[in-house]
């Protein structure tokens, strides 16, 4: 009689239930750190016209564009603001060879001076260089775009893993699924980190009888969102836009 040994090449369902929480426990914070580093580097930084002149003189400017604001500023914590092109806009944005983006506000150009730009023979050297660089904004795949794209990809993976575990995994221990869904919308992925900490790293030992409801999650989203925005604003004033961009 031939005995057939069960194959061990595929983990059982129980083993998967043990492996997935461990993988998420370490994977989510690592993904967040990688995303935060890239997003911080590529986030637009407010600067000055004097800095623009220094960047132009040093040959560090890769592309430039006039704009009248940001297309999706604050749409979601994982989004990257993109400047809205305007030929007579009062904002100048430029990308550097190191992948960073800077912007400053100045007087709009004279009518008809853009997108072709002023005549280099009559305009200033800055205007001539900006006119040349403006055409590269859409045509060139600069390092800033690649860094921003990588940050967006990491954020997407982070969100998918978190939502997949929240919706398809075991019921949360501290709050309901709706509670953590709303908390997870906090800026900068703070809510995802909070869920990872309370549900994976430091789950409660005894069962929590009064778990947070969806309405409580909305309250946390509003209060904590306002608090985070105030902290970021204060930090930007104290440390400057180089350290705290936006």
Can you read off the two tokens belonging to residue 202? 């430091």
pLDDT at 213: 85
pLDDT at 14: 65
The phi and psi torsions of 47 (rounded to 5 degrees) equal: -135, -160
> What angle, rounded to 10 degrees, do the helices at 13-42 and 143-168 form?
150
pLDDT at 82: 80
Can you read off the two tokens belonging to residue 234? 């204060």
Q: What is the pTM of this model?
A: 0.79
pLDDT at 122 over 50: no
- The full length of the chain comes to 246
Other beta carbons within 10 Å of 232: 14
Q: Give the containing element (helix H, strand E) for 167.
A: helix 143-168
- The answer to whether residues 183 and 163 touch, using CB atoms and an 8 Å cutoff, is no
Q: Percent of the chain beyond pLDDT 70? A: 74
pLDDT at 123: 43
Q: Which residue has the higher pLDDT, 15 or 142?
A: 142
What is the mean pLDDT of the segment spanning 128-145? Answer: 66
pLDDT at 181: 94
């Amino acid at each position: 009689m031939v005995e057939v040994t069960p194959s061990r090449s595929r983990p059982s369902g129980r083993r998967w239930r043990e492996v997935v929480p461990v993988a998420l426990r370490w994977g989510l914070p690592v993904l967040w750190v990688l995303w935060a580093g890239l997003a911080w580097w590529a986030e637009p930084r407010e600067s000055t016209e004097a800095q623009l002149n220094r960047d132009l003189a040093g040959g560090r400017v890769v592309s430039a564009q006039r704009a009248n604001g940001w297309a999706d500023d604050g749409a979601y914590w994982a989004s990257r603001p993109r400047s809205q092109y305007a030929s007579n806009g009062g904002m100048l944005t430029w990308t550097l060879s190191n992948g960073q983006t800077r912007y400053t506000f100045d007087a709009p150009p004279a009518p008809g001076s853009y997108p072709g730009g002023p005549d280099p023979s009559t305009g200033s050297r800055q205007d001539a260089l900006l006119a040349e660089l403006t055409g590269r904004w859409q045509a060139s795949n600069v390092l800033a775009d690649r860094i921003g794209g990588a940050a967006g990809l990491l954020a997407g993976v982070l969100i998918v893993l978190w939502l997949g575990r929240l919706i398809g995994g075991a019921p949360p221990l501290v709050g309901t699924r709706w509670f953590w869904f709303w908390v997870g919308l906090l800026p900068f992925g703070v809510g995802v980190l909070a869920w990872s900490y309370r549900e994976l790293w430091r789950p409660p030992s005894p069962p929590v009888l009064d778990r947070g409801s969806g309405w409580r999650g909305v309250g946390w989203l509003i209060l904590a969102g306002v608090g985070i925005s105030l902290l970021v604003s204060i930090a930007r004033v104290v440390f400057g836009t180089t350290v705290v961009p936006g």
